[in-house]
Chain A
Amino acid sequence: QKEVEQNSGPLSVPEGAIASLNCTYSDRVSQSFFWYRQYSGKSPELIMSIYSNGDKEDGRFTAQLNKASQYVSLLIRDSQPSDSATYLCAVNRSGNTGKLIFGQGTTLQVKP
């Protein structure tokens, strides 16, 4: 079992729709969770961090964390073609190493 799992996609949604991206993790005591957006050939760009159960909203983005079920999700409202990218889920492993464990990423395609 991979430590952080994501559906590779592609996930295709029409412009203006809600895109829902999901991620599960195996280390039950993980504390910090992140969503990064990565355009092809570019570096990961942090878009959301979440540390406690529940929802966290930032503009069109909402991150959801459920530690009991060990999943974290990202909702993108009013999806735009410019949101088309690979979305990486990352988990800061328990302990104090700071190491991020990344999922393989989900490719999102937003069609005009």
Chain B
Amino acid sequence: EAQVTQNPRYLITVTGKKLTVTCSQNMNHEYMSWYRQDPGLGLRQIYYSMNVEVTDKGDVPEGYKVSRKEKRNFPLILESPSPNQTSLYFCASSLHASGSYNEQFFGPGTRLTVL
């Protein structure tokens, strides 16, 4: 089944404890992206990747890191989480970034709480 997976689905952690949220897609998509969703602010892009070893900042990159060492995986790293990073996180992927076949498909989401 073609899909985007994320792990963990739920996470409660404490301020300053490094964590990684994994994202994997099995559709051979070039483009991958991370979004966060907050009440009243909607969905905002954190980081994106056009292809392996190519990443760039979105609108709200502060406090986050990413890497794209393999085409299928795009982990989100919080080196020192803070309470303002409590949010619902979504990974998404598409075959291309623009033009045809740029529909983005979303993973199931990771609900993160930072105490």
Are A and B physically bound partners? yes
Contact of A98 among B31, B59, B106, B107 (CB under 8 A): B31
Interface pair B98/A96, CB less than 8 Å apart: yes
Task: Check A100–B104 contact: CB distance below 8 A.
Answer: yes
Cα distance A42–B50 when bound, in Å?
25
- What is the 8 Å Cβ interface bit string for chain A, positions 15-56, against chain B (1 contact, 0 not)? 000000000000000011010100001111110010100000
Whether the pair B48, A32 counts as a contact (CB closer than 8 A) is no
Interface residues of A (CB under 8 A from B): 31-32, 34, 36, 41-46, 49, 51, 88, 92, 95-100, 102-105
Q: Are A99 and B103 in contact (CB under 8 A)?
A: no
Looking at A43, A44, A45, A97, the one whose CB has the most chain B CB atoms below 10 A away is: A43
Nearest neighbor of A51 in chain B, beta-carbon distance: B100
Top 10 closest pairs, chain A to chain B, by CB: A98-B97, A102-B43, A43-B106, A43-B109, A98-B31, A44-B106, A99-B45, A49-B103, A104-B42, A102-B42
A-B interface contact total, Cβ < 8 Å: 63
Does the CB pair B97–A46 fall under 8 Å? no
Chain B residue at minimal CB-CB distance from A43: B106
The one of B35, B42, B102 in contact with A103, judged by C-beta atoms closer than 8 angstroms, is B42
In the bound complex, residues from chain A placing their C-beta under 8 Å from that of B102 are 32, 92, 98
How many residues of B are counted as interface, with CB atoms below 8 angstroms from the partner's CB atoms? 28
Query: 5 pairs across A/B with beta carbons < 8 Å?
Result: A34-B103, A45-B106, A98-B98, A100-B35, A105-B42
Is the pair A99, B106 in contact by a Cβ cutoff of 8 Å? no
Residues in B with CB closer than 8 Å to A97 are 48, 56, 97
Would you call B74 an interface residue if the criterion is a C-beta within 8 Å of the partner chain's C-beta atoms?
no
- Per-residue 0/1 for B77-115: is the Cβ within 8 Å of any A Cβ (1 yes, 0 no)? 000000000000010101011111011111111000000
- Pick the residue among B59, B90, B98, B100 that contacts A44 (CB under 8 A): B90
CB 8 Å contact bits of B39-66 with A (1 = contact, 0 = none): 0001111001010000010110000000
B98–A92 touching, CB < 8 Å: yes
**A32 touching B98 by the CB < 8 A rule?**
yes
Query: How near does chain B come to A34, taking the closest CB pair, in angstroms?
Result: 7
The CA-CA distance from A41 to B90 in the complex, in Å, is: 11
